[in-house]
Structure 1
Amino acid sequence: MGDIFKIGQVIQDDSSKIQCKVEEFLGDGGQGEVYKVKLGDTDYALKWYFPHAATPQQKEILEQLIQTGRPTKKFLWPIHLIEQQGINGFGYIMELRPQNYKSIVDLMKRRIEPSFRAVITASIELTNSFLALHTRGMCYRDISFGNMFFEPITGDVLICDNDNVAVDQQSANIGVLGTPRFMAPEVVLGKAKPSTQTDLYSLSVLLFYMFIMHHPLEGEKEAAIKCLDLPAMNKLYGEDPIFIFDPTNHSNRPIPGYHDNAIDFWPIYNQDIRDLFIRSFTKGIEDSENGRVRESEWRSSLVKLRDSIVYCSCGAENFYDIEKIKQQGSLGECWACTKPIILPPRIRINNQIIMLNHDTKLYPHHIDDEKMYDFSYPIAEITQHPSNPSVWGLKNLSNEKWVCKTTDGTIFDVDPSKNVSLVVGTKINFGNSEGEIRI
């Protein structure tokens, strides 16, 4: 139960006269308390600051955020500033997070078991959202577990606690430094304040947690620490940070029986993603200005990773890795059941290779270079023949006619809502690009 408001209490803003009714206490934190409120016929969340956090500077930040508006719809952004005579401090109204959105903490504690596809989709949306924020010249300053929520089935993302977002050059004068374990080494050591560059480090840590279920710097050196007090944390995360999979420094490798998540998950992913993590926690630590992985780089590799999902007969998701095939002639064994991985049909469109699984969809992103990272609607999907389950096709969900050509030179059209069979060598002209079916 919150201490600031009572259930049923009506709050009216002094200037705008906006009224909201308190319906439920949702929780509290270091800055204030959060309530579910009714504004008109719609439920919202209200955060009200404790006196120590209700500073003129915080109020100015809120006013600026409300004026500029959210970078993307993924941010639960401040909508209205609320002040009422007789109540200390102030607060703000934001959209209410739906209950089906879960935190990264739920993922880490295995309270939810999302698919790799959902986790990758969430990661794409996170990187895209922070790219939009940083492009505005703003930094988040506190990327961590507690501020990111995603829908476990679809991977849709919502980002909360946006009241600490600040213009990059102004953030040095604001007290929020970040969350332990997520702060960049230069912030841990007091050599820098939060910025877009430190956000990039924190984002890489968050992504590593989501994919590997472990912290990138917690290996043998962390296991040897008897008491993880402040000096020990400063050394591990600030003074001497060593990536657990550093290709040249093996002094902080994960220990079997103690760091099993890291040991088990790391080899599952393709080399492209592993290389970005290696860069993030080697060169990205050594050179904070130029060495860190940009959001656009993450986004590009994550989209390719999602396109490379291969299902084993046991149902487990594996990943198509051309480098692994070049080295050993196959994808090897499924990480879950150890059976040989059988590749599905796939389509090459320009420099993209997309696995054609039972649930694969193609989007504008795949066929039109001018619509990169547009996943707003599908233009094609894999379908199974209604009377012959062994025959699969690609259904045209677009409004445009496709032109196809088989290996014997036969040319035919595929109208909207029609299918083309997945026959090796068949070429499909989508209008702006051409794809070829491969087996």
Structure 2
Amino acid sequence: MLLVGQSLELPRHGGRWRVGEVVGEGSQGIVFELVSQDRADAPVLALKWYRPETSHPDQWAALRKLAQAPPPSDSFIWPVEVLGAPPDFGYVMALRSPRYRPINDLLMGADVPFSVVVRLCLGLADSFLKLHALGLCYRDISLGNVFFDPVTGQPMICDNDNVTVDGGHPAQVLGTARFMAPEIVRREAQPSTATDLYSLAVLLFYLLMFHHPLEGRHELDYPCLDAEADRRLFGTEPLFVFDPDDSSNAPVPGVHRAVLRYWPLYPSFLHDDFRRAFTIGLHDPARRVREGVWRSHLARLLDGIAYCACGRENFTEDGRPLGPCWACGASITPPVRLQFGTRVLVLNAETRVTRHHLQRDYAYDDVVGVVSPHPGRPDVWGLRNVGVQPWRAVLAGGDTRTVDPGRSVGLVVGTTIDFGGVLATLQG
């Protein structure tokens, strides 16, 4: 094993680096800081060094392949250099920024807006879509391997030494309890992209419902949730808590409070996705909900968020309120929305129209319009052009006007806006 203070050569990064303090430790190994001894402006890196009992040659070979390829997206803390050789080796990666918080912060009651949680889920679906598109599988999707930015919702996915080619060598890591697909629990399959899809669905359900999708009345049948109970609940006899055809494992009032509180807050299209993931998808891996479907529907969920007068975010069914505000109980006023064909964007204060809304490419950082108040009349709101191309607006009365960059069009129901070939109509 390495010693704190030891000096190492990093061929890819160049120069000598000092092994710094321990920043993490797990069953596989220890993670150290790596500090450049040659350049004061070099970023501090991280080095995971494996314990002798876990330093398998297959792991070393897989890491070397991963380090030669770029990460699937910026959301992965990817291996960038492998040092040593079996049985004494490790890999270098970026050091996770302190702004990223453990997902458990959410489950422990951190007051994070719904929009941030949905962006986190959307980012996870997008990230694993890109990973799987490369023919890779993660094998161990769970709460412990993901961090998030509490301001933007951007995920940061760690422990990528588990990643391997789909259908590659037998896995040493089968997954995390309660996140493994039933066929893995039953020891009928190895981790794969198909089992990743199940684990992703469990993770998304946890983040949105604060509960496991299979933990309902049946778990109360076991005085002790031991290995045999887990095998039945998550392997041989799994049953979704909201299975439309079998309510025997439904959540129990007073016991499963969180999932009973949160499930009704979400629109029907998300309910349908979870029902498919944990009914058909429990037993037929080929029919599990794909990452692209999650990504599309989570974007739809995000675009449908409306604000109550109390300031809390509420989900809608494409702009139609689902009921009173979950926080204060007041009625939600139907919001003004921008209709792009069949797609809807609810317009709240500071809502951004992005390139994604025009091209459906998930480019949320490319902003073309922002909802903002009139500079002289703060009670009058408009959509301001912050892009580089003018828009053409046809007002409700039939008049036409050009909306140049820096100018706004009022949020008047019936107005149609041409965003350069993409039409949208303001509706109430």
TM-score (norm 1): 0.93
- In structure 1, what is the Cα distance between the partners aligned to 2:207 and 2:87? 39
1:350 and 1:433 in contact (8 A); partners too: no
Q: Which amino acid aligns with 2:232?
A: K
Aligned pair 1:321/2:317, yes or no? Answer: yes
Partner of 1:236: 233
Match of residue 60 from structure 1: 61
State the distance in 2 between where 1:213 and 1:5 align: 40
Residues 88-146 of structure 1: per-residue CA shift (max 9 Å, x gap) = 61111101111111122221112x32111001111111111100110111100000011
Give the structure 2 partner of residue 405 of structure 1: 394
Match of 2:105, as an amino acid?
Answer: D
1:223 is matched with which residue?
Answer: 220
1:353 equivalent in alignment to 2:344: yes
Contact 2:304 2:318 in 1 (8 A): no
Among 267, 272, 283, the residue aligned to 1:270 = 267
2-structure distance, mates of 1:38, 1:94: 12
Match of 2:364 in 1: 375
1:192 corresponds in structure 2 to 189
Aligned-partner residue type, residue 194 of structure 1: P
Letter in 2 for 1:400: Q
| Residues 81 and 92 in structure 2, CA contact (< 8 A), matched pair in contact too | yes
SS of 2:184's partner is helix
Deviation at 1:417, TM superposition (A): 1.2
Greater Cα shift, 37-46 or 256-265: 37-46
Secondary structure of residue in 2 paired with 1:348: strand
Give the Cα–Cα distance (whole angstroms) in 2 for the partners of residues 275 and 16 of structure 1: 48
Whole-angstrom distance in 2 between the partners of 1:98 and 1:13: 21
Question: Offset at 1:258?
Answer: 1.2
- Aligned position for 2:103: 104
The answer to whether 1:437 aligns with 2:426 is yes
Q: Which residue is 2:330 aligned to?
A: 339
> Deviation of residue 18 (structure 1)?
4.8
2-structure distance, mates of 1:160, 1:202: 15
- In 2: Cα distance, 1:53 partner to 1:136 partner: 26
Q: Report the RMSD for the aligned CA atoms in angstroms.
A: 1.7
Q: Measure how far apart 1:350 and its partner are.
A: 1.8
Aligned to 2:247: 250
What corresponds to 1:46 in structure 2? 47
Shift of 1:72: 0.9
**CA-CA distance at 1:25 after TM superposition:** 0.9
Q: Which residue, 136, 150, 153 being the options, matches 2:151?
A: 153
Query: 1:282 & 1:45 partners in 2: Cα distance?
Result: 41
State the secondary structure of the residue aligned to 1:68.
coil
Superposed CA deviations along residues 21-51 of structure 1, whole A, max 9, x for unmatched, are 1222112101100011113421111100001
Distance 1:65 1:198 in 2: 21
C-alpha separation between the residues in 2 aligned to 1:383 and 1:359? 6
Question: Which structure 1 residue ranges, 5 or more long, are not aligned?
Answer: none
- Please name the residue that 2:301 is paired with: 305
Q: Residue deviations 1:297-346, cap 9 Å, x none? A: 000000000000011111121112159x5xxxx64211111111112211
After superposing the two structures, state which structure 1 stretch, 197-206 or 67-76, moved more.
67-76
Pair 1:425-2:417 in alignment = no
| CA spacing shift, 1:63–1:88, aligned 2, 3 Å | closer
Structure 2 CA distance, aligned partners of 1:348 and 1:190? 48
Alpha carbons 1:140, 1:166 under 8 Å: kept: yes
Shift of 1:16: 8.3
Indicate the larger mover: 36-45 or 182-191. 36-45
C-alpha distance 75-14 of structure 1, shift in aligned 2 (>3 A): closer
Query: 2 CA distance for matches of 1:397 and 1:414?
Result: 10
Offset at residue 224 of structure 1 (A):
2.4
> Aligned equivalents of 1:15 and 1:28: distance in 2?
25
Shift of 1:167: 0.3
Q: Which amino acid aligns with 2:138?
A: Y
Classify 1:322/1:402 alpha carbon distance in 2 versus 1 (closer, same or farther; 3 Å): closer
The whole-number CA distance in structure 1 between the counterparts of 2:236 and 2:312 is: 40
1:278-297 aligned at under 5 Å gives the runs: 278-289=275-286, 291-297=287-293
Count of aligned positions: 424
1:352-400 CA-partner distances (Å, limit 9, x unpaired): 111100021011111135xx22223211110011222210000101110
* Aligned residues of 1:76 and 1:162 also touching (Cα < 8 A): yes
